[in-house]
Amino acid sequence: METIELTQNERFQASKQKMEKAAYILKTVAHPIRLAIIDLLSEEGEMGVNDICKALDCEQSLISHHLINMKLRGILQSQKDGLNVFYALKEKEIVKLLQCIENCDCNM
Amino acid sequence: METIELTQNERFQASKQKMEKAAYILKTVAHPIRLAIIDLLSEEGEMGVNDICKALDCEQSLISHHLINMKLRGILQSQKDGLNVFYALKEKEIVKLLQCIENCDCNM
DNA sequence: GCATTATATGAAAATATTATCATATATTTG
DNA sequence: CAAATATATGATAATATTTTCATATAATGC
């Protein structure tokens, strides 16, 4: 195993990229509806779009946009069955974010 | 200790509020510059504004806006010493978010 | 008091995100 | 095949966030 020395600048760029990736993930999650979807799916395992809409009391189109967005970004996965499309968590690590935040104090 | 029964609707509202708080915290953190600041402060403990600017190669005004924003939302704290203002993490739990995300896979 | 340095502020411009609405597509049922 | 149901799509409108720039404030040293 070789040891690779990074220059100051390479380290800077690497860290920058790491922060961009983290921000990207956090952003796709940082919305009350999307968090509610994640929370719901972590409990139910799998749900159809309509049931999610009812559970969250939101319009179908809005929920659909959010679901597709999260799927696109690798947080959710979906599976079609007849008329229904069932969504589920793909990236389960994401639930830990919610747990992690429970202990945070903030000024709202 | 009393047991308090919540109605279906009360539970719904409580969960909604919980998600809003979580989204609020996640949003104040979900930005590459703000994450970089958090990362930096978690390592250095305390830093003056100018040093943060240099470390991140960003304009003073931009960094200032982000710092003040995070302070306002209870993530950072600051302490004045002569010409300098030293910022530090107030809510250290927040660092765990970054660690938590290291294990996440996503489509960027 | 004047120049210098560090930080903050505020408005405006540039971008990005979110919600809404109308409609399209696809599947099932009769 | 027509009607009904579930979901997706795309454009637009509504909002919110981020950056930039010019300038203000505040502390220090001379």
pLDDT tens column, A47-56: 999 999 999 9
A28 neighbors A70 (Cβ within 8 angstroms):
yes
pLDDT (tens place) for every residue of chain B, 108 residues total:
778 888 989 999 999 999 999 999 999 999 999 999 999 999 999 999 999 999 999 999 999 999 999 999 999 999 999 999 999 999 999 999 999 999 898 998
- Tell me how far apart the terminal alpha carbons of chain A are, to the nearest angstrom: 49
B29 neighbors B75 (Cβ within 8 angstroms):
yes
What pTM value is reported for the model? 0.94
CA A68, C1' C30: Å apart? 32
Binary contact (A91, B104; C-beta < 8 A): yes
Domains of chain B, first to last: 15-101 (1.10.10.10)
DSSP, collapsed to helix, strand or coil, labels residue B48 as strand
Per-residue model confidence as pLDDT tens digits over A35-89: 999 999 999 999 999 999 999 999 999 999 999 999 999 999 999 999 999 999 9
The 10 Å Cβ neighbour count of residue A59 is: 10
CA A104, C1' C6: Å apart? 31
A34 neighbors A41 (Cβ within 8 angstroms):
no
